[in-house]
Structure 1
Amino acid sequence: MSQFTTHAPTHPGPRPEEPYPVDPLTATRHLCAGAYLDETFRNECLREVYYEPKRIVAPSFGFDAVPVLAHCVKARNGALIRDAVIVGTVLVTLCAAPASLFLVLTAMAALHSTIVTYRLAKECFQRLRANEPMALGPLIIRLFFLLIGYCVVFLLFWLAVALAGTAATTTSASSIEGFIAALGAGAFLVGVLIFGGSLGFHLWRQSVLDRMMPGVALTQPVHNQRLEEVARQQRGNTTVYSGFRSYVGSGDVAGSSGFAIRLVRAVNPAARQLDGVIGRHADGSGDSEQRREFEQLPFAAQQLVDHVRERLSTLLPQRAAEEQIAGLTVEDRVCLAGTEVSQLLPYTPPDVMAAVIRHPTSPARHYLACQVFAWGGQLIPTVYVHVAVQGRSLYLEMTTTVLPPCDERFRIVDSVDGHGAAAWWRAVKTGVADAPRAIWRAPVHLASTLINMVAGQSSGQAAVTRGFDYGARVGIRELGSDTDVRYLAQSQDIAKYHKLIERRVFASVLDYLDSHDIDTSEFRSRAASVLNISGGVFASADSVTFAGPVAGRDMNGAGEQ
Structure 2
Amino acid sequence: MGTAATTPAGVRDDRQSTATRHLCAGVYLDREFRDRVIRDVHNDCRHRVAPSYGFDLVAVVEHARRAWALGTAYQLCLVALFAAGLCTDVLATVSAVCALLAMRSVADVPRTSLDLLKLKGRSWGHRWRARAESADAVQRLREQKRRFWLDLGTCALLVVVVAVTAKLTSSSLSAALPQGVVTLLLAAALAVVAGVTRQLALNRLHRTADLRPPRLSKRSEVVDAQQASTLVVYGHHYSSQSTPSPFVGSGFVHRWPPQSIQLVRDEAKKSEFIASDHPRFDAPELVRFLRKAATELGSHQEGPGLPGLHVRDRLFIAEEHVAAARHLLLDEPTANEIEQIINDPGSLVKHYLEIGVSRSGEVVTTLFLNLTLGARTLNIDFALGMLTSLPREFRVVDAYRRNGAGEVVRSAFRSLRDLPRELRGSWHLGTAPWVAIRAWYARKDRTLVSKRNSVIGARVSIRQESDLKDRDRHIAFDAPEILKNKNFILNPMIESIVEFLKLKGMDVSTFERQVNTIINANVFNTGSLKFDNSAIGQDATVNQAGTATPNSPSGDVG
The alignment's TM-score, normalised by the length of structure 1, stands at 0.79
Cα deviation, residue 135, structure 1: 4.6
Residue 412 of structure 1 pairs with residue 396 of structure 2 = yes
Distance 1:270 1:23, change over 3 A: closer
Distance 1:551 1:54, change over 3 A: closer
* Contact map agreement 1:70 1:221 (CA 8 A) in 2: no
SS of corresponding position for 1:554: coil
SS of corresponding position for 1:315: helix
Q: Give the match for residue 236 of structure 1.
A: 229
Residue 56 of structure 1 pairs with residue 39 of structure 2 = no
Cα deviation, residue 211, structure 1: 1.4
RMSD, matched Cα:
3.4
Unmatched tracts of structure 1, length 5 or more: 1-5, 8-20, 128-132, 172-178, 273-290, 557-561
Distance 1:116 1:297, change over 3 A: farther
Q: Give the match for residue 367 of structure 1.
A: 352
Residue deviations 1:136-172 (CA, integer Å, cap 9, x gap): 414522531442232122122112112212333xx7x
Q: Give the match for residue 440 of structure 2.
A: 457
Cα deviation, residue 409, structure 1: 0.6
| d(CA) in 2 for partners of 1:296, 1:421 | 73
Q: Give the match for residue 64 of structure 2.
A: 72
Residue deviations 1:459-514 (CA, integer Å, cap 9, x gap): 75652335422122122322334525759674212112212322222222222223
Cα deviation, residue 116, structure 1: 3.6
Distance 1:124 1:400, change over 3 A: farther
Distance 1:396 1:466, change over 3 A: farther
Pick aligned residue for 1:191 from 153, 178, 184: 184
Pick aligned residue for 2:155 from 153, 156, 161: 153
* Contact map agreement 1:240 1:346 (CA 8 A) in 2: no
The alignment's TM-score, normalised by the length of structure 2, stands at 0.80
| d(CA) in 2 for partners of 1:406, 1:502 | 25
Q: Which amino acid letter does the alignment assign opposite residue 180 of structure 2?
A: A
Q: Give the match for residue 45 of structure 1.
A: 37
Q: Give the match for residue 261 of structure 2.
A: 261
Residue deviations 1:441-469 (CA, integer Å, cap 9, x gap): 111x2123332222343275652335422
Cα deviation, residue 241, structure 1: 2.2
Q: Which amino acid letter does the alignment assign opposite residue 370 of structure 1?
A: I
The number of equivalent residue pairs is 501
| d(CA) in 1 for partners of 2:33, 2:346 | 37
Percent of residue pairs bearing the same amino acid type: 25
Unmatched tracts of structure 2, length 5 or more: 1-8, 120-133, 237-243, 542-558
Q: Which amino acid letter does the alignment assign opposite residue 67 of structure 2?
A: A
| d(CA) in 2 for partners of 1:201, 1:549 | 51
Q: Which amino acid letter does the alignment assign opposite residue 238 of structure 1?
A: L
* Contact map agreement 1:252 1:403 (CA 8 A) in 2: yes
Q: Give the match for residue 308 of structure 1.
A: 290
| d(CA) in 2 for partners of 1:219, 1:329 | 21
Distance 1:449 1:189, change over 3 A: same
Distance 1:363 1:125, change over 3 A: farther
SS of corresponding position for 2:258: strand
Pick aligned residue for 1:523 from 511, 519, 524: 511
* Contact map agreement 2:355 2:367 (CA 8 A) in 1: yes
Residue deviations 1:344-368 (CA, integer Å, cap 9, x gap): 4583332332222122333321111
Q: Give the match for residue 97 of structure 1.
A: 89
Q: Give the match for residue 506 of structure 1.
A: 494
Residue deviations 1:514-535 (CA, integer Å, cap 9, x gap): 333333233122111123124x
Q: Give the match for residue 143 of structure 1.
A: 145
* Contact map agreement 1:241 1:335 (CA 8 A) in 2: yes
Q: Give the match for residue 130 of structure 1.
A: none
SS of corresponding position for 1:63: coil
Q: Which amino acid letter does the alignment assign opposite residue 468 of structure 1?
A: S
Q: Give the match for residue 245 of structure 1.
A: 245
Q: Which amino acid letter does the alignment assign opposite residue 399 of structure 1?
A: A
> Which has the higher mean CA deviation after the structures are superposed, 415-424 or 32-41?
415-424
> Which has the higher mean CA deviation after the structures are superposed, 40-49 or 319-328?
319-328
| d(CA) in 1 for partners of 2:348, 2:506 | 30
Cα deviation, residue 333, structure 1: 0.8
List, as ranges, runs of 4+ consecutive aligned residues in structure 1 with deviation greater than 6 Å.
Answer: 121-127
Distance 1:553 1:110, change over 3 A: closer
* Contact map agreement 1:70 1:222 (CA 8 A) in 2: no
